[in-house]
Amino acid sequence: MKIKKIGVIGCGLMGSGIAHTSARAGYTTIVRESNQELLEKGMSNLFGFIEKSIARKKATEFELRQVKSNLMGTIDLQDIADCDFIVEAIPESIELKNDLYEKLDEIAKPEAIFGSNTSSLIISEMAKATQRKDRFIGLHFFNPVPIMNLVEVVRTDETADEPYNAALDWCKRIDKTPVACVDTTGFVVNRLLVPYLLDAIRALEAGIATIQDIDNAMMLGCGYPMGPLTLLDYVGLETTHYIAEIMTADFGLPQYHSPELLKKMVEAGLLGKKSKKGFYDYSDPRAPVPADLSAFLK
């Protein structure tokens, strides 16, 4: 089958990035949000990202025109009923996602493919909420979506070859590199990445090195473009904690347990860049400095 029209549900950080990337590649794309305020905020962030990229010479005016001509926003779920591929990018809650899929299954055309953008949830558990288990896949995009090249593409035991191959082809056409994964918690990246990030927090807790030195050690010693504590701030500390809880429940292994420092910071509302404070203080976003976490390290 040929994918021509894309529906994206959710215009937050990930959804807006997926919509941007799809429209940039020339696909007619409709992004749906639950209310007008959230839709306007998401669209503003989307076009603001492009304009900042143009200013930094990382994007062109052609990209801006391309996205504007191919992208439409809506708050009506019915507007995506005739899409060939519908990508859901709402919060990581199996209850929220399954409630959406029950509604979506009734209005979408029978041949439409469903794809859930998730970093941790089991895809087959969402597919059960529909009558199209054979046309249901998982997608794990990485933030920021317009820049990051990888997409983990997940098939369940019931996913048919035709929709799966069509989804892989779409990922390539939007200039991403798809990695085929089986349906397991954490897929490839988080299965390997989460223990690394949590161990960086444990190193800080143990007083092995400072925030800056832990990050510099991994960047300069391993050639990583970003240190683990900076990366945690970008991912979101509450997101990492949530993923760690899911992986602990599924695998029962100590490397997936959230460190006490992470729990304390999440409880205190220190979520990383989105809250302007995590392992770094982003009060001046142009020059973030290591945060004072002495009260949490006693």
Instruction: Report the pLDDT value the prediction gives residue 2, as an integer from 0 to 100.
Output: 87
Give the Å distances, CA to CA, from 297 to 173, 202, 217, 278, 292.
47, 11, 21, 14, 10
Residues 138-167, mean pLDDT to the nearest whole number: 96
Q: Kindly report, residue by residue over 42-68, the tens digit of the pLDDT.
A: 999 999 999 999 999 999 999 999 999
The reply to whether domains 5-182 and 190-290 share a CATH topology is no
Instruction: Report the pLDDT value the prediction gives residue 298, as an integer from 0 to 100.
Output: 76
Fold of the CATH domain 5-182: Rossmann fold (3.40.50)
* Domain residue spans of the chain: 5-182, 190-290
Q: Kindly report, residue by residue over 184-224, the tens digit of the pLDDT.
A: 999 999 999 999 999 999 999 999 999 999 999 999 999 99
Instruction: Report the pLDDT value the prediction gives residue 119, as an integer from 0 to 100.
Output: 87
**Per-residue confidence band for 29, with pLDDT thresholds at 50, 70 and 90:** very high
CATH number (3.40.220.10, 1.10.1040.10, 3.20.190.10, 1.20.58.340) of 190-290 reads 1.10.1040.10
Cα separation, 202 vs 122, whole angstroms: 28
What's the pTM value of the predicted model, to 2 decimals?
0.90
**Per-residue confidence band for 271, with pLDDT thresholds at 50, 70 and 90:** very high
Instruction: Report the pLDDT value the prediction gives residue 286, as an integer from 0 to 100.
Output: 86
**Per-residue confidence band for 273, with pLDDT thresholds at 50, 70 and 90:** very high
Cα separation, 143 vs 17, whole angstroms: 8
The residues annotated with a catalytic role in the active site are 119, 140, 152, 190
